[in-house]
Amino acid sequence: VRERCVRGLAFIKEELFKRDVPDLLVLDEINNAIPYQYLTEEEIIDLIKCKPLSMELVLTGRGASEKVMAAADLISRVDKVKHPFDAGVTRRVGIEY
């Protein structure tokens, strides 16, 4: 898994950052790669540092380290107030996964 994650970061840096730069890039749940050791915090911090200035980079997931958070410009937390799981609804394709 780590090898695929590292290749994914290389793709982002080599392809997305050098072409027509998108205004927004969301890397959903990438912060969870740190505690599972799929990516290091240094690799993610390097990604933050090398992104084009015109791009908003959004990194989601609960696994962000203190160092990654220190490198971020904005940090938000979302807390569940109410969820269908509370009423016994199981995971749904396209919503939870």
pLDDT of 20 reads: 77
| Beta strands per DSSP E along the chain | 24-27, 56-59
CB of 35 closer than 8 Å to CB of 63: yes
pLDDT of 17 reads: 76
pLDDT in single tens digits along all 97 residues of the chain:
999 999 999 999 887 777 778 899 999 999 999 999 999 999 999 999 999 888 999 999 988 999 999 999 999 988 889 988 899 998 888 887 7
DSSP state of 20: S
pTM of the predicted protein model: 0.79
pLDDT of 78 reads: 87
Q: How does 33-63 read in b/e, with b if 16+ C-beta sit within 10 Å?
A: bbeeebbbbebbbebeeebeeeeebebeeeb
